[in-house]
Amino acid sequence: MNDWLIKSKDKFQDKIFDFLWRQWSILGVAGTAKPGDNRIIDPEVLLLFSLSVCRYEPRLFDEIIDWLFQNGNFINVQRLQQMQVKCDFNCGPQLSAIAELLAEKASYRLKWSGLAKKYYQKDKEPLFFDKEGNALPCPTDKNSNPEFLSHGLKRGQINLRGYSQAFDLQSPACLLLRLRALLGINARAEILCLLASGKEIHPSEAARITGYYQKTIQTTLVEMAQSGVILTRTSKKEKFYRLKAGVLDGLLKPEGESAQWINWAPLLRMVEILSKRLRKLSGQEIDSLLLSSELKKLMLSVCQYCSDATIGEIMIDENISIEDFDKHFQKFLVLLSNRLFFKTG
């Protein structure tokens, strides 16, 4: 038995759920929000990731549903679908089941009804598991929640507590939702978040990390530049955009601190892949050398996500011997866990 792997997996999993409770609490889920995070929350990516890994944290799963009933009007459903197609989180049936629930609410019907019909799985299975990966008891089909059951997932009836609140207006982490409340659900909110980070942006790069089509970003930036609030610079026939200093500080820096845009999609997709694979490996009786070989393959398979998420401190050295790889992998998990919490830049 590889006890070190089980302990590493458990610590990594605990870090993931600590991170998720913190992020959702800042957004208004009933919980304890810890102050001081200046990283802008991406609600679409956070939702997709949460619906995958929170099958092992049922209480938070249902609190997220509660939050969506209170604040789902601030979710960009079109972008949500685009990010799912791009990242392929393991959450399709869960996503459509929740969309079906939300579509039953009159004010959300048009927004969510299309997504409710998108993802299904043929074979029925329990929705929730304990943290060791064992299926939690679930009711018969007759007593299961019909929306989830129609998408192949068995769970009990949903009893929402209604404790979710509005997002924190003063937190830099909620900047994207604040801008959506002001400007509407469109690319302008993401563009301003990028510019608020103090970054000069190019339309193609902005499109890549926000999930919008490049033409949408390009057209929107050209329009916004006509306001005089966004300035341009041309280099080698390419145009870059930046925010005019001080003009929107009252809006974009509510606490006097610049918010930081994080490319959450590749980071959280990598965490999801690692968590799923570690759960499987830790439940197997496997020779230590073979285990190290499997972990090395796992690390190599996610190296592109490190690059996309600009995680420079996490290095994957292919020359490390298999015998020494377990220590290298443990260090890798610690660095990745830190990236979920710590400010960067």
Residue spans of the domains in the chain: they are 13-154, 172-252, 264-341
> Which position has the token pair 């990242």?
87
pLDDT band at residue 235 using 50, 70 and 90 as cut-offs: confident
pLDDT of 301 over the 90 cut: no
pLDDT at 322: 67
pLDDT of 345 over the 50 cut: no
Nearest CA-CA partner of 240 in 272, 211, 215, 218: 218
Q: Is 125 helix (H, G, I), strand (E, B) or coil?
A: strand
Rounded CA-CA distance 41/272 in Å is 17
pLDDT tens digits, one per residue of 137-167: 988 989 999 999 999 999 999 988 888 999 9
pLDDT band at residue 221 using 50, 70 and 90 as cut-offs: very high
Q: Positive or negative, the Cα torsion across 288, 289, 292, 297? A: negative
172-252 has which CATH code? 1.10.10.10
pLDDT tens digits, one per residue of 19-57: 999 999 999 998 766 666 889 999 999 999 999 999 999
Q: Is 48 helix (H, G, I), strand (E, B) or coil?
A: helix
Average of per-residue pLDDT across 271-292: 88
Q: Output DSSP code: residue 89.
A: -
pLDDT tens digits, one per residue of 177-211: 999 999 999 999 999 999 998 778 999 999 999 99
Q: Positive or negative, the Cα torsion across 60, 62, 65, 67? A: negative
Nearest CA-CA partner of 199 in 5, 33, 40, 18: 40
Give Cα 145 to chain centroid, integer Å: 26
What DSSP string describes 293-327? Answer: HHHHHHHHHTHHHHHHTT-TT----TTS-GGGHHH
221 contacts: CB under 8 Å, gap ≥ 6: 191, 201, 203, 206, 230, 241
Give pTM, 2 decimals: 0.93
What are the backbone angles phi and psi of residue 308, rounded to the nearest 5°? -65, -30
Rounded CA-CA distance 305/104 in Å is 37
